[in-house]
Chains A and B, each alone.
Chain A
Amino acid sequence: EPEVTQTPSHQVTQMGQEVILRCVPISNHLYFYWYRQILGQKVEFLVSFYNNEISEKSEIFDDQFSVERPDGSNFTLKIRSTKLEDSAMYFCASSEGLRVEEQYFGPGTRLTVT
């Protein structure tokens, strides 16, 4: 069964460093998402991406964040200058369509900023 994959599973970085989180969505899916979950809190939407551009983004997704689909398979989330409060699980998701569609989540990348 096709699944969303994410690398690395755990990333430790120092405050102020740049990190890139990688995702490979399900191959025939057209819509891609990033969510994050701070320990013990809700899953929060960050950004959605379709046709090589951002469809929607949340207030969390400020200028420090960017997304890219550098080739036909990868979808990346970059945080330019990490802060302590960026420590969280980051989930990539994809869906075949947009409206009224279930989303398939990856296993997540645990980001720890020290």
Chain B
Amino acid sequence: SQKIEQNSEALNIQEGKTATLTCNYTNYSPAYLQWYRQDPGRGPVFLLLIRENEKEKRKERLKVTFDTTLKQSLFHITASQPADSATYLCALDGQGDNQGGKLIFGQGTELSVKP
């Protein structure tokens, strides 16, 4: 069955450093991958989407890579700030030929940026 794994341990880094979060998947060939941010008690907030034919995508301090050979996506936040502290979720389309728009989420990685 399809499986998505993110770093289960919380990531603690110092302000100004680059945070790198990992999303691995198995038994799966997604057409695209998305990253969301979730704050406690709140709904996920869309950050970036990358398609299977794209290697890298950037938006301001955020960068996502997508390696379909390794079945892995890396999510980077450069010049991190305490306001970046949140849980970051990786999400894949439900199936390669998905017709219903279903997203399958990883369990998320909690990021804590210390001043």
CA distance A3 to B32 in the complex (A): 24
Instruction: Kindly identify, within residues 25 to 39 of chain A, every residue whose CB is under 8 Å from any CB belonging to chain B.
Output: 31, 33, 35
Residues of B within 8 Å of A, CB-based: how many? 28
Interface presence of B51 (CB below 8 A) = yes
- With A100-B31, A108-B41 known as contacts, the answer to whether A48 contacts B108 (CB < 8 A) is no
Number of A-B contacts (CB under 8 A): 73
Decide if B34 touches A106 in the complex (CB within 8 Å).
no
- Report yes or no: B94 in contact with A41, Cβ–Cβ below 8 A: no
Closest A residue to B89 by beta carbon equals: A43
The answer to whether the Cβ of B45 comes within 8 Å of any Cβ in the partner chain is yes
| Known pairs A102-B34, A102-B49; A45 contacts B43 (CB<8 A) | no
The main secondary structure of chain A at its interface with chain B is strand
Q: Which residues of B contact A (CB under 8 A)?
A: 31-32, 34, 36, 38, 41-46, 49, 51, 89, 91, 93-94, 98-108
